[in-house]
Amino acid sequence: MKKINLSSHWPISDIQDNILFAGNGNVVLCYRLHLPEIYSLSEKDFEALHGVWFQALKSLPVGTVVHKQDLYVKKGFDPEGLANNTFLGKATHDYFKDREYMEHCCFLFFSLTKNKAINNPKYVNPFRKISRGTFSELDENLKSFISLVSDCVSYIQNSRRISITPLQPKEIENLTHNYFNGFNEGFDTDILLDKKNFTIGEHNFDALAINSELCFGESVQSSKTNEKFTSDDFVFHQGFIDGLGLTLKDNHIVNQILYLDNKHKWRRLLEKKVEELGKSSNFGTQNKVVLGKIKDILEKINADDNARIIRGHLNIIYWDRDSRNLERIGSKIKTQFKDLDIVPYYPRGEERNNYILNSYCCFSTNFSDEDLYVTDLKHALCLFINNTNYKSDPTGVIFNDREHNIPVLKDVWDERKKRIKARNFAIFAPTGEGKSFLANNILRQYFEDGVRLVIIDLGGSYAKFAKLYPNQYTVLRYEQGKNLGINPFYISSKKDLSPERLEELCVFLFELLATDLKVTKAQTVSIKKILHYYYKIISENHSLEGFYKFIEQRQKDLLENLKIHPDYFDIKAFLHVLSEYIGDGLYSFLFETDKDQTYKIEDKRLIVFELDEVKDNKEILSVMLKLIKSAIQRTIWKNPAEKGIILFDEFAKQLKFENVLESVEFYYQAIRKQNGAIGIILQSINQLPENSTSASILENTQVIYSLNNEKGYDELVKRLHLSSHDLNQLKSIKNNLAGSRKYTELFIKIGKESNIFRLEVPPEAYAAFLTDGAENAAIMSIYNRTGNMEEAIKEFLTAKISDDEK
């Protein structure tokens, strides 16, 4: 048995920035790749990425070795980045802690070796020392190589599809240590080699490889059908060898090594080989197969002036604590290769040791012709894995990735507006698919992150969630014949009467008038003059009725005193229309308040306006929305630096009336000046009428959430201008509402980026976000008894666990 002690065989002579000087004389430029998220790419995206790689690598000098290494290691999820200071935050933190997932790191290495022909013997001792001829300093040859690699890296970076960053010296050292320490944690160990086993510490290793043209079937391509998500009416794509990536779910490394060779040299060698095999092809079917493959390669080279000949090697190194599991993992890998019509080679003994040791970046120049297949660069690039795990943003709302159901933070606020210019959002889903549940989940996280929430609700879906935050919320519920206690005319002092406040009141009055004619500048100036005069003469108890009576009592000489032409302000029409809201008017109760109650919401960070009782009354609903808008302007929006969200739930019911849509559009216009966002919830996008107002709303909505819709997504695609891949993603949505880990899937599009996410929450959050049904009623019953929502949820869950155990 052989033993390799890494401390006495350290393969690195020196590291300068990301340039590794190996003990064997090689110089390696080391980078980390940041790939797109898995499931986010369409068939065209895969083709485009293939094109990026080809253009980037094709001009590298002869003798360059490109080594792409994808490292997949089982990990337990670390929830350190999740908030842990509230009831639901702590529940989420603890629920996902240590959940197993595959950590993926992707590296790209460019090696320069003195042996440009790279014509190695069968076995090379990777730890041999070279005392002479090493690149001890940056000579002209090395400087030229670094320059060409920099051009290649810049091209990859500028494609905007893949991000690439230089590795730091410490990262290179850690990678080297982890590789030869067998990814054991907590201790250093040696490599033990014998004919049967390759063992490092507690881990047993094995490998499979593609090392010959004979391994390949009829063809390779940049992508293939993803059978898991594809259905009869759509095709979902994945990378050609993605089945050997994240979805393998076992510890492994995919090494893709390319030797960039001289095209003309290999053309001559292949032609010579064809001639030799042509003479001997009658001596066996194997010779005929090889002859056919070499002829095919030659045809591609001769037909394509841009062809770049490479020798390539692909291997998958895998490991496990239990050596018996290696056979199971190997079987899974072979199955994946079989689906690709590829027959892998299974190295044993010295061959396996050779493959595993030489798949370290410093040693990947050591493979011999017997370990390499010959093909065109375009063919080899089909074997690149071009996606990775879902990416968490530094801050954001927690969703779950589709592969491991671990938390992913998505920044749907986008403070710096890198992805979106307007952070307004819309949620689309039919009844029963969980719209309000999703909204509760999003708003809860925003609220706990310091965002102020205003919810205009016609369904009563948020009172339970709000009760988790005593003293921080208020629910203003409309009851028949009563007012909300909002007085738009109220000022606490003369300082409140700013030009902006007069503008707001002016808009409010014109909305009440609901004139079909366009309001002129002369009319607005007239109203503002009268308002200013009113506040100058009347020093207290300001109200709509007081303003009405002020005009009524002075109607004979008011316009003359203020030098307003009668054409600019029709006093009789004004008094006639507003009489409905004054004295004995039909809707006077809406304004019957001598004191403004909005001070109640000034210090509240969660305000719910429940308008369920008024949802079918056009006039009252319209006025309510105007009053709410007035309250929001004077309280929540008085501090532009404060983040705020206004959510319209059951929005379709509010949209039954034209003037309501116009009233809501105002919020979209006004929110631009604020540090805020508008959210709407709809069963279908068809509930938004096809007019300019709706178009304006959709144009200013750049975060889209869609849950499952069995009726299809055609209208959503049409009106939101979604791509064909967006539609495929939508069609691939599948919920899992059985078993211990229930989740729903949802489509999220942030600007131009889209993917399918999952929504899985801990039992505490599930209980908090329920909006109807027997379980919700049970929780509310406990709350009515205890007066504490957190305790009510805990008691409900304890009882539920007890019932399940019975």
Return the pLDDT at 305: 65
- Whole-angstrom distance, CA of residue 673 vs CA of residue 801: 49
List pLDDT tens digits, range 173-229: 999 999 999 999 999 998 998 878 899 999 999 999 999 888 988 789 999 999 999
Record the tokens describing residue 295, joined without a space. 């002829």
Its sign, for the CA torsion 352, 358, 364, 370, is: negative
Return the pLDDT at 284: 52
DSSP string covering 337-387, please?
HHHTT---B---HHHHHHHHHTTSGGGTT--BGGG-EEEEHHHHHTT----
**Other C-beta atoms lying within 10 Å of the C-beta of residue 506:** 19
**Are 679 and 671 spatial neighbours (Cβ–Cβ below 8 Å)?**
no
pTM over 0.95: no
Return the pLDDT at 285: 58
Return the pLDDT at 131: 45
List pLDDT tens digits, range 737-779: 888 889 999 999 999 999 999 999 999 999 999 888 899 999 9
Residue 150: C-alpha distances to residues 17, 18, 164, 757 (Å): 14, 12, 11, 36
Return the pLDDT at 806: 59
Provide the 8-state DSSP code for 395. S
Under-50 pLDDT residues of the chain: 131-133
Cα-to-chain-centroid distance, residue 144: 39
Its sign, for the CA torsion 582, 588, 594, 597, is: negative
